[in-house]
Amino acid sequence: MYQPLTAPLTPFVDALLVPRRLIAAEHQGQLTVRIQTATHRFHRDLPESRIWGYDGTVPGPTIEAERGKPVMVEWRNELEGPLPVVDTVAPQHADSDGVPVQCLPGLSGGMPDPRAGALSGHAVVHLHGGLTPASFDGWAENLFAPGQPAVFHYPMNQRAALLWYHDHVMGVTKFDVYAGLAGLWIVRDERERELGLPEGPPFEVPLLIQDRNFNLDDRGRLTGQLVHKTDPDVMEAFAPFTVVNGKVWPILDVQPATYRFRVINGSNARTYRLVLLRDGHSELERVTQIGTDHGLLPTPVRLPSDGLVLASAERADLLVDFSDLEPGSELMLLNTASAPFDGASFPAARALEAANLEGLLPFPQVMCFRVIPGPSASRSIPTALATDYVPPPPEELADAPRRAIALVEREVEGQANMLTMRELRIVEDDHAGPLVTVTNGERITSYRAVAAHFEDVTTFFPMLGQFEVWQLINLTGDTHPIHVHLDPFQILARHPIRYQIPDAGIEDVDITASVILGRDPDDELSHAIDDNERGLKDTIRVNPNEVVEIAVRFTTYSGRYMYHCHILEHEDRDMMRPFVTMAPELMPFMA
Ligand SMILES: [Cu+2]
């Protein structure tokens, strides 16, 4: 183990910034958001950073909409100049002291990638979690250059939830989001208002959590310049500084009252496991989770005892009760998840010791809450929350089409490994050629890969209104947050698996693997479904040695959409595939 690093920035000195609210109803549902090059200060002791931001801010304004009231947004691309992020691959995984370079600021001997430096401001906006017609969903190849108009219509026929809008340009989403192109979007509805949940300041506070790194000048001082750094061993960028709503390790003064935090992980790759600590003790019991990706859960739930795990793009709607605390009390929000995340547990009570350089977690701090004087105002939490959905009925799932997708890591000569997907199709027993066999007790199912790359032929044509079961088979060592565009889904099962892949078993498209349902004796993951995952989700973690089954049903819009890993470095390098939702009466006419 190494000595902990000393943070080059002072934690908990910048006040948490709450993004400007842009309430659609105050603008007759017609909004203009300018996508601009601007400057932003991530910490009081950092120089200003050049960024790309919606309305020139990091994060962008929080758009607030009402269920059933359409919103039209003119996304006006006014970006100027090159990408405000230096991209580099450090030549070594660790420096001469053995510290992994991704724990450190600066380029660590890497050369700035001139191809990234040459990127101008192409943009396309995706509303993550939006039930949006395909034309306005932000297809990753349909780009808008500066000056080209983009007017998107969002019907908002969907339940109250915290969504987010972010850039989705093919191949460079990792740079564009990192540069600042992300903002929150809250849908509100009557059910939430019946429950009397906090709405707006001061008691409803969105928290967009991201990790960022910065360059060093020739005297070793931090500049504000954003750095996206990877290394020969780790192809995802994990940055040492945790940024909440655009500030490194901020502090929020809270009244002795119940707050509603709308939390989202907007990092490129980092998963957080959030723990609330006071005087060195876990205080997770102060926290009640009432909602997930697509809004309210049926009933409030406690957080998992290790803490709240949020992978990239996952959201949590939390009520936190500070009402019994004396003025001056301080609570720290910490992250105990090492990176790349593999689901391994870490006890919440030890969160202060979670710094782990090998796990690319140099600083576990996220933010601080400080109680200020005020009247004590606790809020009782309703026991019944969502009433508008139930688990998918088993009889509808019995005959549902089933689709299998393998998540694989492919070695490429002279390049970093690629994390990609393989869409699988069942074959007859006498099929010759590379196969994936899945053994479940006595039953063996054989598959061949029918698609791998984004541009391969489309094989998923789900019918509107019909449930389908998608099986996500993880044959890699990391957790992948898989995001499906359009309607939300529900998780049905997590099954532990063990598997074998022969040498060169993962080819350009073909794959050879044998998968056996059942736990590997060395596997320490629980493979449980957490209570907070039993809601309407649009992003689900698929852990190592695991098959996740989700019940998917598209309801409203026909068109071409995408599903992908939400680790942006994976999505940009082919861990993304299309699907086409179809009106049933059109199916007979498909050639
Ligand atoms: Cu991934």
CA of 567 to the centre of ligand 1 (A): 5
CA distance 328 to 310: 29
394, containing H or E segment: helix 394-398
Q: For residue 407, what are its two tokens? A: 């998540």
Are 365 and 242 spatial neighbours (Cβ–Cβ below 8 Å)? yes
φ and ψ of 116, to 5 deg: -70, -40
CA distances from 63 to 26, 188, 243, 463 (A): 11, 11, 20, 31
Are 501 and 475 spatial neighbours (Cβ–Cβ below 8 Å)? yes
Give the Cα-Cα-Cα angle 577, 583, 586 (nearest 5 degrees).
100
**Confidence at residue 3, expressed as pLDDT on a 0 to 100 scale:** 67
Residue with tokens 């993004």: 19
Rounded to an integer, the average pLDDT of 261-279 is 98
Rounded to an integer, the average pLDDT of 257-263 is 98
Q: How many CA atoms lie within 13 A of 327 on its CB side?
A: 5
DSSP string, 477-527: SS-EEEEESSS-EEEEEEEEEEEE--TT-B-SS-B-EEEEES--TT-----
Are 262 and 206 spatial neighbours (Cβ–Cβ below 8 Å)? yes
**Confidence at residue 2, expressed as pLDDT on a 0 to 100 scale:** 56
**Confidence at residue 590, expressed as pLDDT on a 0 to 100 scale:** 79
pLDDT digits (tens, 9 = 90+) for 512-571: 999 999 999 999 999 999 999 999 999 999 999 999 999 999 999 999 999 999 999 999
pLDDT digits (tens, 9 = 90+) for 358-388: 999 999 999 999 999 999 999 999 999 999 9
CA of 228 to the centre of ligand 1 (A): 17
CB atoms near residue 279 (< 10 Å): 9
Q: How far is CA 547 from the centre of its chain?
A: 19
**Confidence at residue 412, expressed as pLDDT on a 0 to 100 scale:** 84
User: Mean pLDDT in the chain?
Assistant: 96
CA of 19 to the centre of ligand 1 (A): 29
Give percent of the chain with pLDDT exceeding 90: 95
**Confidence at residue 570, expressed as pLDDT on a 0 to 100 scale:** 97
Helix (H, G, I), strand (E, B) or coil at 438: strand
CA of 423 to the centre of ligand 1 (A): 15
φ and ψ of 24, to 5 deg: -60, -40
pLDDT digits (tens, 9 = 90+) for 223-235: 999 999 999 999 9
pLDDT digits (tens, 9 = 90+) for 451-481: 999 999 999 999 999 999 999 999 999 999 9
CA of 48 to the centre of ligand 1 (A): 32
Helix (H, G, I), strand (E, B) or coil at 396: helix
Residue 454 exposed, middle or buried by CB count within 10 Å (0-12, 13-18, 19+): buried
CA distance 358 to 350: 17
Q: For residue 188, what are the β-bridge partners?
A: 66
CA of 189 to the centre of ligand 1 (A): 33
Residue 93 exposed, middle or buried by CB count within 10 Å (0-12, 13-18, 19+): middle
Give the Cα-Cα-Cα angle 82, 568, 244 (nearest 5 degrees).
80
Rounded to an integer, the average pLDDT of 569-578 is 96
pLDDT band of residue 417 (cuts 50, 70, 90) is confident
Residue with tokens 């598997």: 499
CA of 476 to the centre of ligand 1 (A): 9
Rounded to an integer, the average pLDDT of 195-219 is 97
End-to-end CA, the chain: 60
Rounded to an integer, the average pLDDT of 347-352 is 95
Residue with tokens 């998968």: 515
| pLDDT of residue 591 exceeding 80 | no
CA of 552 to the centre of ligand 1 (A): 20
**Least trusted range by pLDDT, from 30-34, 52-56, 373-377:** 373-377
CA of 555 to the centre of ligand 1 (A): 27
CA distance 160 to 589: 37
pLDDT digits (tens, 9 = 90+) for 296-348: 999 999 999 999 999 999 999 999 999 999 999 999 999 999 999 999 999 99
| pLDDT of residue 206 exceeding 80 | yes
**Confidence at residue 179, expressed as pLDDT on a 0 to 100 scale:** 98
Q: In 184-318, where does DSSP find H-type helix?
A: 190-194
Residue with tokens 């994976």: 570
Rounded to an integer, the average pLDDT of 278-282 is 94
**Confidence at residue 54, expressed as pLDDT on a 0 to 100 scale:** 98
CA distance 516 to 20: 51
CA of 420 to the centre of ligand 1 (A): 8
Q: How far is CA 180 from the centre of its chain?
A: 15
| pLDDT of residue 94 exceeding 90 | yes
Q: For residue 194, what are its two tokens? A: 């019946």
Q: For residue 353, what are its two tokens? A: 């010791």
